[in-house]
Amino acid sequence: MSDTPELDLEHEAAKVPPRVKAEILSEALPFIRKFHGKTIVIKYGGNAMTDPALQQDFAEDVVLLKLVGLNPVVVHGGGPQIDEALAKIGKKGTFIQGMRVTDEETMEVVEWVLGGEVQGDIVGLINHAGGKAVGLTGRDGGMIRARKLMLPDRDDPSKLHDIGQVGEITQIDPSVVRALQDDQFIPVVAPIGFGENNETYNINADLVAGKLAEVLKAEKLVLLTNIKGVLDKNGELLTKLTAKRIDELFADGTISGGMMPKISSALDAARAGVNAVHIIDGRVPHCLLLEILTEKGVGTMIRSH
């Protein structure tokens, strides 16, 4: 990774007058006080995961949140990296309704990409930024138990699609995550679960983040995306949504395609007691700090009512 983004950052910071810096810090103070000791589950994906400058911003944000007393837990995907690895072995990814079809060979690739390469990079970035990250998969500490997911057809729910070793979560035991948090570590979780016969399952990272936020009784669930947030039919950002409004947006087709699992898991988490769910634009530098520690966020906030 080049030093250029870091130098640019220092250069930009030097141009900010001290009074403005003080205002920024004082604006963050009430939020730091309010969320001190609270768990924040962050789904890390999209451009924020592949752009080197944004990777560095993300790592710095996570470390800063930990240092000021919040408890971040990172759940990551890795779709583009999986596609890249599959292409190297001459295999093309197949999707049904936005879900990756995962045969045995694909599952092996998913496991070493998510639990190895991608996770190692994230752990390294956070540690380099001054944090203490630890990588986990759902197997560690028996964290994520799953069963085979049969996907109902969008047009005919009585018809089910077999998408291979894709799982739905049956149980999450968060004790390994809690133990790491108590020890000042930052858990980084790959969305891989295991079944009752020790088989491995690929699980949608948004769903893992949502369920983990529920069982950890997180204050916030933050989902990084490649769009501004939830948009209306005119492409305008909807900054605040309730469960009722989301049901309306599903019904009229405003929310569809790849956003559906993301919004569904966000809504489930909000209904299960997560105080606020944020869908934010991961392409904005330091989007996490802006969303959590300032008055004006950078995405859509969802509450249950």
Boundaries of every domain in the chain: 37-303
* Helical ranges in 163-258 per DSSP H: 175-182, 205-215, 243-251
Q: What is 37-303's CATH number?
A: 3.40.1160.10
CA-to-CA distance for 115 and 138, rounded, in angstroms?
10
β-pairing, 186-190 vs 71-76, is parallel
Q: Output the known binding site for substrate.
A: 78-79, 100, 202
Compute φ and ψ for 280, nearest 5 degrees. -125, 160
Q: How do residues 204-245 score in pLDDT, each as one tens digit?
A: 999 999 999 999 999 999 999 888 888 888 888 888 888 888
Q: How do residues 60-117 score in pLDDT, each as one tens digit?
A: 999 999 999 999 999 999 888 998 999 999 988 788 887 888 999 999 999 999 999 9
DSSP 3-state helix, strand, coil percentages of the chain (rounded to 5)? 45, 25, 30
The pLDDT mean for the chain works out to: 87
Q: Output the known binding site.
A: 78-79, 100, 202
β-pairing, 240-242 vs 71-76, is unpaired
Q: Among all chains, which residue has been given the structure tokens 């049969």? A: 150
Percentage of the chain exceeding pLDDT 70? 93
> Is 23's pLDDT higher than 80?
no
CA-to-CA distance for 196 and 104, rounded, in angstroms?
17
